[in-house]
Structure 1
Amino acid sequence: MDKMPSSLPSQPESAKPQAAPANEAIHVLNLYQTADKIYTRSLEGFYRSLRRWTWIPMLASYFLIPWLNIDGRQAVWFDLAERKFHIFWLTLWPQDLPFLAALLIISAFGLFTITNLAGRVWCGFSCPQTVWTSIFIAVEEWFEGDRNKRIKLDAQPWSVNKLARKSAVQLCWLLISLATGLTFVGYFNPIRELVPDLLQLTIGGAALFWLLLFTALTWANAGLMREQICLYVCPYARFQSVMFDSDTLIVSYDKARGEQRGSRKINQDPRQLGLGDCVDCTLCVQVCPTGIDIRDGLQYECISCGLCIDACNTVMDKMHYPTGLISFTTENSLEKGTRFRLLRPRLLAYFAVLVLMCSVFVYEIGSRVALEIDVVRDRNMLYRVTEGGFVENSYKLKINNMDQRDHQYSISITSDQELIYRGQSEVGVAEGEAVEMLVRLLLPIDQITETNREVEFVVTATTEPALQNSEISRFIAPLKNRD
């Protein structure tokens, strides 16, 4: 075997491979261990009650809106087959997709604004993952008992009692998931037809596939994965800190007041024991839906639900200590003792841009004309000279009635010369329908002064003159008079 050249410098001791620590293998294994189940404790308090009041309108809207009818159709119906999105009194077509994109952008920017103001309150109070997970946990508590009882039940061997309780939980989860999936599919298929079809087992294959898929996803996300979605799947948890500043309201533990932690009797003065106000009861950890200890500082896993505040305030009341050891506060308030600043440049900039975007969106929606016309010249022939001495141009005129009512439309043209119109002067178009027709324009050949002139087609609803749209095209004539 060839020897290494002597000119190659030897590696320094710090660059040579070092022996792996004895516990390195254990550390690697810990990265892949199965996450322990989180058993949350249920404690009443201000923020738990506030969460319920934020859930009620969201859940009611989600489940009831598909059952509302407007003008004989479903109030909110994303009709993919007809490529129409019915949103209450508004119907959006494929060419209106920029409105939907703008709405999503506005929603995202609104989320950024709220995050800069009060952290992840969306996650803690309104996120569907949080809401459905809490509902599923409530079902567990109903059939299996409080936190300690659930822990004991899971540790017990299987028995008739355990099987009955677990089966009841799974059955309720399945019914909630089925209702959720059925409602979601009902936004794309008329729900008043979908439910009878499902009960009669005549539901279509595509609708059944999506129903089963969303039922399974709801059951898995809210029943099995739960906080794992927030910790590892949701991208918002990863970039939320970019929108924070030192005056953002976040759930925080007052370490200066709480440390050192330790148990004590109610009547004992913690200062004489060398202790802070934290009694180290761990209730703040037990109520946390993501299983973190807020006393370790701000963590991306925190969803700002405020349940740890409720738990801590309950203990503070029992110990006759001031509440607020854990609270919604800011970094500057904890470190510098300053007040919460609502009027600050970054938040004002977010809010100003959000208001501007909403204003432009409302204006564009309000000024949107529910009538689209399209004029296409005959591509096979620029013009035709008739035997009567006229130059003729042919057009295909398409009128798309995007309104939610039938309309009778009148057709006219505007030009700097008296063009002769040949075609239907009025046409009826049903709601959501489009009509195509052939239109001809003629000009006496001896009146030609330009070879290419502008002509405007104007379409107006006869009973609603405000419903009007126009399209500009061209009239082509020969270069010189022809005999």
Structure 2
Amino acid sequence: MPNPVPRPRKIIPIAVAPAEGEAGSALYAAHRKIYPRSIQGLFARWRWAMVFLTQLVFYGLPWLEWGQRQSVLFDLAARRFYIFGLVLYPQDLIYLTGLLVVSALSLFLFTAVAGRLWCGYACPQTVYTEIFMWVEQKIEGNRVARMRLDGETFSAKKLVKKWFKHIVWLGIALWTGFTFVGYFSPIRELGMEFLQTGMNSWEVFWVVFYGLATYGNAGFMREQVCKYMCPYARFQGAMFDRDTLIVSYDTARGEPRGVHAKGSDARAQGLGDCINCGLCVQVCPTGIDIRDGLQYECIGCGLCIDACDTVMDRMATPRGLVRYATQNSMAARWTPAQVLRRVLRPRVLLYTGVLAILCIGLLGSLVVRTPLKVDVVRDRASLARIAEGGQLENVYRLQIMNATEQTQRYSLSAGGLAGLMVLPTEPVEVAPAQSRWVAVRLQVPYGSAAAGSHAVHIDVRSADGRAQVSEKAAFLVPR
């Protein structure tokens, strides 16, 4: 019998670490600290305007009063949300759902129109990073001074600057955590508890937790959060198209790069308008080079536009080498009017229309909502019983929730069965923005209803007639 033909052996390659002195590639790139350079310009001013606006609202809102209470308070312990004149209960979850849907559609709309506007101007990570970098610049100096300080050996001067910076950072971070907790626990009482060292353990935990989160994210991680932790950076590409406004580098005008004298004819020298100064890279918070094209790390802040426009002014060259533009407009050299027409495309108009309908519906629902909530809970201890006078009685518990800022008196009535009577007959008084449990008895003459379960309704009506709620219940007649 002939010998079988041997099969060729499979060779599995094994990666071997390079020997000492040999060139090799690391599994990942080492983190390189970014030292953003400060710049003045239109978009830098817009960023700082958003910093002031967002922090004025965040830090100031919980200290405002509305009708002798905190204007915005999410009181989880009492299960009530106070938003200026609105008092919302857990049963109003539909409004929270509507708000989340509106927020998501707004994000889709802004991204489809102009990319990562939220990231560049209003995201808390961006805002607090900007604040922390401003503190760092004031204490340690400009970009060159910070790089020099980090490269120096240990000294008393370096220690003082570094510790002072971190103390200021921690102060801002802990105040931010305190303010955040003040949206869920009355902030004035929280402040008094802090001064008297009487804060409970959970309040202390959340203040420290959010404070340290702010300290770590804005002071140390910075652009790493935007690059690697934020999911928006990953799925934004699905919402972009070639008509989305993004920060773009005009390759046709800028290349080839090279240094040339101010006012000289760069084209005659075979050069583009870009003098390769690198200023656009130095001001970028995420450390990218916008000249390499669209990158997911770009947060659309526009600081590279300010930097490039500054250089173009010095070189007596028209602005706009780096600008907000669309991929189609850059390829076809469109005019601003053509760009605007393409930005207002069907996709954007659809988002706008749906968003407008949802906002109008949500606001309309809030305006016409009944400021009264009623829950009916059957008394399981006594399904049905014979009361005095030969009446068949079912017992219920009503939770009446007053969603107004005034004390209300509510009258009770019931219907659904012949001869149905509700007790108590006197009005029920409920304090402003409070709830009250009331024991309610429904009675019918014995033998007036067939055995089984009968659908009835309990009506609760305010004394001024502005609020009325009818809740269904089951009346049981034993066999």
Tell me, yes or no, whether TM beats 0.5. Answer: yes
Correspondence for 1:134: 130
Q: Which of the numbers 26, 38, 41 marks the counterpart of 1:28?
A: 26
**Once the 2 structures are TM-superposed, how far is the Cα of residue 18 of structure 1 from its aligned partner?**
7.7
Paired with 1:132 and 1:386, the residues of 2 have a C-alpha distance of 67
- Checking the alignment, whether the CA contact within 8 Å between 1:288 and 1:308 is kept in structure 2 is yes
Report the AA paired with residue 424 of structure 2. G
Mean CA deviation greater in 196-205 or 311-320:
196-205
Q: Deviations over 1:97-150 (max 9, x none)?
A: 332233122212211110000000111111111111111111111122111111
Correspondence for 2:211: 215
**Once the 2 structures are TM-superposed, how far is the Cα of residue 11 of structure 1 from its aligned partner?**
5.4
Mean CA deviation greater in 169-178 or 229-238:
169-178
Correspondence for 2:310: 314
- Checking the alignment, whether the CA contact within 8 Å between 2:245 and 2:343 is kept in structure 1 is no
Q: Which of the numbers 3, 7, 10 marks the counterpart of 2:8?
A: 10
Q: What TM-score results when the alignment is normalised by the length of structure 1?
A: 0.90
**Aligned Cα RMSD in Å?**
2.5
Aligned-pair identity in percent equals 45
**Once the 2 structures are TM-superposed, how far is the Cα of residue 316 of structure 1 from its aligned partner?**
0.6
Paired with 1:19 and 1:127, the residues of 2 have a C-alpha distance of 43
Structure 2: 5+ residue stretches without partners: none
Mean CA deviation greater in 309-318 or 210-219:
210-219
- 1:428 pairs with 2:429: yes
Report the AA paired with residue 357 of structure 2. L
- Checking the alignment, whether the CA contact within 8 Å between 1:421 and 1:442 is kept in structure 2 is no
SS at match of 1:438: strand
Taking structure 1 as reference, are residues 414 and 306 closer, same or farther at Cα in structure 2, changes over 3 Å only?
Answer: same
Correspondence for 2:466: 466
- Checking the alignment, whether the CA contact within 8 Å between 2:458 and 2:472 is kept in structure 1 is yes
Paired with 2:77 and 2:475, the residues of 1 have a C-alpha distance of 37
Mean CA deviation greater in 158-167 or 447-456:
447-456
**Once the 2 structures are TM-superposed, how far is the Cα of residue 218 of structure 1 from its aligned partner?**
1.0
Paired with 2:251 and 2:44, the residues of 1 have a C-alpha distance of 24
Structure 1: 5+ residue stretches without partners: none
Paired with 2:165 and 2:379, the residues of 1 have a C-alpha distance of 67
Size of the alignment, in residue pairs? 469
Q: What TM-score results when the alignment is normalised by the length of structure 2?
A: 0.91
- Checking the alignment, whether the CA contact within 8 Å between 1:411 and 1:457 is kept in structure 2 is yes
Correspondence for 1:145: 141
Taking structure 1 as reference, are residues 305 and 386 closer, same or farther at Cα in structure 2, changes over 3 Å only?
Answer: closer
SS at match of 2:26: helix
SS at match of 1:471: strand
Report the AA paired with residue 40 of structure 1. P
- Checking the alignment, whether the CA contact within 8 Å between 2:419 and 2:444 is kept in structure 1 is no
Query: Superposed, which structure 2 residues align to 1:25-424 within 5 Å?
Result: 26-29=24-27, 31=28, 33=30, 35-338=31-334, 339-340=338-339, 341-379=342-380, 383-384=384-385, 388=389, 390-415=391-416, 417-424=418-425
- Checking the alignment, whether the CA contact within 8 Å between 2:86 and 2:403 is kept in structure 1 is no
Mean CA deviation greater in 233-242 or 346-355:
346-355
Q: Deviations over 1:136-190 (max 9, x none)?
A: 1111111221111111121122222222222221121122112111111111222
Paired with 1:6 and 1:356, the residues of 2 have a C-alpha distance of 77
Q: Deviations over 1:401-455 (max 9, x none)?
A: 233332111111233633233433311122312222131322363x557965443
Paired with 1:374 and 1:202, the residues of 2 have a C-alpha distance of 36
Report the AA paired with residue 471 of structure 2. E
**Once the 2 structures are TM-superposed, how far is the Cα of residue 50 of structure 1 from its aligned partner?**
1.2
Paired with 1:473 and 1:200, the residues of 2 have a C-alpha distance of 50
Q: Deviations over 1:24-61 (max 9, x none)?
A: 983224x052x111111111001001111222221100
Paired with 2:386 and 2:188, the residues of 1 have a C-alpha distance of 58
**Once the 2 structures are TM-superposed, how far is the Cα of residue 398 of structure 1 from its aligned partner?**
3.2
Taking structure 1 as reference, are residues 50 and 386 closer, same or farther at Cα in structure 2, changes over 3 Å only?
Answer: closer
Report the AA paired with residue 470 of structure 1. S
Q: Deviations over 1:226-251 (max 9, x none)?
A: 11110111110000011011110000
Mean CA deviation greater in 207-216 or 191-200:
191-200
Q: Which of the numbers 433, 438, 441 marks the counterpart of 1:439?
A: 441
Report the AA paired with residue 467 of structure 2. L
Taking structure 1 as reference, are residues 79 and 392 closer, same or farther at Cα in structure 2, changes over 3 Å only?
Answer: closer
**Once the 2 structures are TM-superposed, how far is the Cα of residue 198 of structure 1 from its aligned partner?**
2.0
- Checking the alignment, whether the CA contact within 8 Å between 1:113 and 1:350 is kept in structure 2 is yes
Paired with 1:386 and 1:323, the residues of 2 have a C-alpha distance of 89
Mean CA deviation greater in 413-422 or 382-391:
382-391
SS at match of 2:466: strand
